[in-house]
């Protein structure tokens, strides 16, 4: 009797899930930076629309976009713009990528509060992180060796910082992080090391800044103003190390995809953006 009950219950659940998967589910895939954000959106959305099912997975922006092109996901999350090559490939397969900006992300460069240096230009940052500038006195600090802290190569933040600060979005550039940079496995580890090490410099998403670290003011070049990594400066585009975060859909969003995209742009969706330490779009 008991066994039968379990069996029929299992059967009901199986068909229930199969049914849901058939009718009301979408796949969201892409940027690891955005996975937490995507999952937070999906959870909240599913709480309010229990019949719909949204699966969010990571893998990297490139992975997400290639799944969109091969039609194996409905929405791609990306922390970079789609490349021309990818658009051409998509067109070939009859997919029409549609870009929706959903949030902004600012990267803070941080040092120990005891460090005398409090502002740097992008060129100086490039020099420091590629290992050409090795001593703090070269950028106006005290005479001590610079300890470079970086995220591991599996981090989207690492890739973004390399492409945007070290290589200046120049695809022919061969700049790399100095081999002597310490690779730490999380933003929190960088925050801790910076807090305890007066010669360290590191970078991470704005959400991790605390009074134990000092965020460096950054200027595009020596003629520009030095700007602090604040939400306002990211929103008005003054802070130079910030990036938009995108969702890509196939053509204009429709049905459940549209419902979900609209949700991410709604007031509630943007509140989740702020809660996950990204910068909400000014609506």
Q: Which stretch binds other proteins (CB under 8 A): 41-49, 153-161, 231-239, 246-254?
A: 153-161
Stretch that binds other proteins, among 197-205, 217-225, 226-234, 274-282 (CB under 8 A): 197-205
**Nearest to other proteins of 170, 225 (CB atom):** 170
Under 8 Å CB-to-CB from 72, ≥6 apart: which residues? 27, 29
- C-alpha–C-alpha distance, residues 203 and 215, integer Å: 9
State the distance between the two ends of the chain, measured CA to CA, in whole angstroms.
58
Strands annotated E in the chain: 25-30, 53-57, 75-78, 97-111, 119-121, 147-151, 182-184, 200-205, 214-215, 217-219, 242-250
Stretch that binds other proteins, among 84-92, 176-184, 230-238, 263-271 (CB under 8 A): 176-184
- Contact between 89 and other proteins per CB under 8 A: no
Q: Please state the closest distance from residue 216 (CB atom) to other proteins, in A.
A: 18
Q: Which residues contact 224 (CB under 8 A, 6 or more apart)?
A: 121, 240
Residue 43 or 152: the one with the smaller Cβ distance to other proteins is 152
Query: Are 203 and 108 a contacting pair, CB within 8 Å?
Result: yes
CB 117 within 8 A of CB 248: no
Token pair in block for residue 83: 């490349």
Residues 4-33 that bind other proteins (CB under 8 A): 32
**Is residue 185 near other proteins by the rule CB under 8 A?**
yes
**Contacts (CB under 8 A) with other proteins, residues 208-267:** none
> Of 35, 104, 146, 265, which lies in the binding site for other proteins, with binding defined by CB under 8 A?
146
Q: Is 199 in the site for other proteins (CB under 8 A)?
A: yes
Of 39, 115, 121, 155, the residue at the interface with other proteins (CB under 8 A) is: 155
Provide the binding-site residues for other proteins, judged by CB under 8 A.
32, 60, 62-63, 144-147, 152-155, 159, 174, 176, 179-185, 193, 196-197, 199-200
């Amino acid at each position: 009797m008991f066994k039968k009950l379990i069996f029929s219950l299992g059967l009901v659940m199986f068909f229930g899930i199969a049914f849901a998967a058939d009718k009301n589910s979408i796949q969201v895939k892409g940027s690891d930076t955005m996975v937490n954000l995507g999952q937070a959106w999906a959870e909240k959305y599913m709480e309010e629309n229990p019949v719909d099912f949204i699966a969010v997975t990571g893998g990297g922006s490139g992975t997400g976009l290639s799944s969109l092109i091969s039609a194996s996901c409905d929405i791609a999350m990306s922390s970079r713009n789609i490349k021309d090559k990818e658009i051409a490939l998509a067109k070939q397969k009859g997919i029409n990528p549609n870009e929706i900006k959903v949030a902004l992300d600012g990267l803070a460069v941080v040092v120990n509060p005891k460090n005398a240096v409090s502002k740097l230009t992008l060129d100086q940052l490039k020099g420091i992180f590629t290992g050409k500038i090795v001593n703090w006195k070269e950028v106006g600090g005290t005479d001590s060796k610079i300890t470079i802290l970086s995220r591991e190569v599996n981090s989207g933040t690492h890739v973004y910082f390399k492409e945007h600060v070290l290589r200046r979005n120049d695809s022919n550039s061969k700049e790399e992080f100095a081999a002597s940079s310490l690779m730490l496995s999380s933003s929190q580890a960088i925050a801790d090391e910076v807090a305890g090490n007066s010669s360290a410099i590191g970078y991470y998403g704005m959400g991790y800044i605390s009074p134990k670290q000092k965020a460096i003011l950054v200027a595009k070049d020596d003629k520009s103003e030095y700007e602090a990594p604040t939400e306002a400066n990211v929103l008005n585009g003054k802070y130079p190390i910030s990036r938009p975060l995108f969702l890509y859909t196939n053509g204009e969003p429709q049905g459940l995809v549209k419902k979900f995209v609209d949700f991410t742009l709604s007031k509630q969706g943007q509140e989740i953006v702020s809660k996950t330490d990204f910068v909400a779009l000014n609506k």
